[in-house]
Amino acid sequence: MAVLFALLFGLMTVAGAFAVDAGMLYLEKRRVQSAVDMAAIAAARDPSRGFELARQVISDFGLVPGDLKVEELKKPDSPYRLASTAGVYTPNPNVEAEDRFVGGGAAVNAVLVRYSAPGRLFFANAWSPIPEIGAEALAATEARISFSIGSRLAALSGGDVNKLLNSLLGTSVALRLVDYNALANVKLNALEFLDALGIELGLTAGTYESLLSAQATHSQIGRALADTVKLSDRLAVQVVTKVLGNKPVKVGNLISLGGYGERGIGSLGKSIGATVTALDVLRAAAGLANGTKQAQLDLGVQIPGIAALDATLAIGEPMQSSGWIAVGAVGAKLETAQVRLLVRVEIPGVLGILPIRVLLPVYLEVAQSEAVVTSISCPTSSSPQGSAVIRATPGVARLRIGNVNMSSFRDFSRSPISGPAKLLDLLVVRVTASADLQVSQQRPVTLNFSSRDIAQGNIQTASTRTVVGSLTTSLLRQTSLSVDLLTIPLLSIDVVLKVVAGLLTPVAPVVDAVLNQLLDTLGLSVGEMDVKVIGVDCSTPVLVG
């Protein structure tokens, strides 16, 4: 009996020893896993220092001997091994979990941390090899960007653009140039403005999607601006707001939030640096109200050699999924609206002994431009503002001389050009002209925004390379003139062509200036697209694997 008891006691002791060792190894495994989880989260905050941050966390947990050198941790045959791999994590449910992380890449947003160390045995170390305890964790951040298109205009200059904004905004009185330029110095956060606009519209609950789907008038937008800006800037906004009209604008055509539209109203706040000016907001609203619209401008006759000058502008409906400023992740997109602009110049001259007036119509159509975010890198110690890559495609521009059918000028589904333009139509002679100049960028242009670019608010331009210099001059060089002598020829065709061509050439700079001024007011340019990254932000790292 005593022998049996001794045997049972021995077996129980061995079993107890195994149980103690197994239990301690389990607890140690959990401790190592917890440490690696925390190390991955710390490393994901600054992937460029991932190994350093992960080692610090592992050391704080007491899992690394104090005298162990950093080089030993990196050796593949060391008993204590730590590895930190920065890469790109794509949260795509259609991709297998183990394939969602890829080491390396330009837009790093995740860090994979692996750690191995020898376990401890209290009883079985005499006959059992020391087991290895290993753990790994993957932590990722959600990179977000705010960017805008068509924001080159820091201030207005000249009465023509002032007239255009007054017309598009529907102001009850003509605002002065100084009123608009004061707004260029008023800065605000676009997301705070969006929240203030929600209050103005009575939408304070629900998601941003409901707010983006709502309509806001110019006056409501102005009041929301006044509620957003600093007290010292409020007067400049209120001066303009008091006379704004009630043309409606779809809020989502001002600001695009992409996937963040599902967030609750007020939840974004200042989470992303999205600083804009009050002039930016009003200028964008002016070009968006009522979808397709038209403005007629008499530009005056205070220019030597020109008898009359006027312009007609039509702005198409913008893409429903786009805005003027966007907050989103990789894949966020902005698109400009389609624009038509007709400049008519009346030029006095003399043909033989006959006083004449040549009427030159220059028609410009700018197609939609597109900017897509292709890469976002989170802020780090070496790149405090982060970085981003945007693929921009300037819209195809078409400059033409021809007879413009004004009844279809606002119909963007068809061309308003119907045959050659009549430059001169007298009893004795008729001169017609036609020209067609394409300005296009065949391939998207890659724009790289560094941390310094973002910090300094630098604007980058995606530019076409098909036309250099004066657009109108290039158009006139391609113009085909046709002369019909309607009575007994008193003048030769060559003389008529020489006189008309001589009258047209000097007006090219004037037409260029008008086109550029009016398009700049709308944040557009022929064959170019301006893009600005306002801010890059990354969410708190979370474990994803």
What are the boundaries of each domain within the chain? 2-140, 145-543
Q: What is the pLDDT of residue 496?
A: 80
Using CA atoms, how far apart are residues 154 and 162, in angstroms rounded to an integer? 14
Using CA atoms, how far apart are residues 139 and 542, in angstroms rounded to an integer? 5
Angstrom CA distances, 320 to 317, 392, 395, 486, 523, stand at: 8, 19, 17, 52, 19
Angstrom CA distances, 184 to 157, 237, 276, stand at: 12, 10, 9
Q: What is the pLDDT of residue 126?
A: 58
Q: Which two tokens stand for residue 218?
A: 């110019």
What is the CA 433 to chain-centroid distance, rounded? 40
Q: Which two tokens stand for residue 141?
A: 């951040």
Around Cβ 148, how many Cβ atoms within 10 Å? Answer: 24
Angstrom CA distances, 368 to 393, 437, 513, 532, 541, stand at: 9, 17, 22, 17, 37
- pLDDT by residue for the chain (545 residues), tens only, comes to 655 555 554 555 555 555 555 656 667 788 888 888 888 888 888 888 888 888 888 888 888 887 778 788 888 888 888 889 888 888 777 778 788 888 887 778 888 999 888 867 655 565 566 678 888 888 888 888 888 886 444 444 555 556 666 666 665 545 565 666 677 777 888 888 888 888 888 887 778 888 888 888 888 888 888 888 787 777 777 777 666 667 778 888 788 877 777 778 777 766 566 777 787 787 777 766 545 555 666 666 567 777 788 888 777 665 444 567 888 888 888 877 778 888 888 888 877 777 888 888 889 888 778 888 988 888 877 888 888 999 988 877 788 888 988 888 877 778 888 889 888 887 778 888 888 887 765 678 899 999 999 888 888 888 765 555 577 888 888 888 888 877 656 667 778 888 888 888 888 888 887 777 777 766 667 767 788 888 888 877 888 87
Q: How many CA atoms lie within 13 A of 455 on its CB side?
A: 8
Q: Which two tokens stand for residue 286?
A: 């002016």
Are 143 and 119 within 8 A, CB to CB?
A: no
Q: What is the pLDDT of residue 450?
A: 92
Around Cβ 523, how many Cβ atoms within 10 Å? Answer: 20
Are 221 and 356 within 8 A, CB to CB?
A: no
Residue 215 β-bridge partners: 250
Instruction: Using alpha carbons, select from 285, 399, 284, 282 the residue that is nearest to residue 340.
Output: 399
Using CA atoms, how far apart are residues 421 and 73, in angstroms rounded to an integer? 79
Q: What is the pLDDT of residue 160?
A: 57
Instruction: Using alpha carbons, select from 42, 37, 31 the residue that is nearest to residue 133.
Output: 31
Q: Which two tokens stand for residue 143?
A: 């990179």
Backbone angles phi, psi at 307, to 5 degrees: -85, -35
Q: At what angle do helices 508-521 and 159-169 cross, to 10 degrees?
A: 40
Q: What is the pLDDT of residue 449?
A: 94
Q: What is the pLDDT of residue 63?
A: 81
Q: Which two tokens stand for residue 200?
A: 């103005």
Torsion over CA: 407, 410, 413, 417 (sign): positive
Instruction: Using alpha carbons, select from 339, 334, 277 the residue that is nearest to residue 462.
Output: 334
Angstrom CA distances, 479 to 161, 362, 402, 467, 474, stand at: 29, 11, 10, 16, 9
Q: Which two tokens stand for residue 373?
A: 């975010």
Using the structure block, give the residue that is written with the tokens 């100049």. 437
| Length reported for the chain | 545
For 484-507, give one letter per residue: b (16+ CB within 10 A) or e. eeeeeeebeeeebeebbeebbeeb
On whether the pTM is more than 0.75, the answer is no
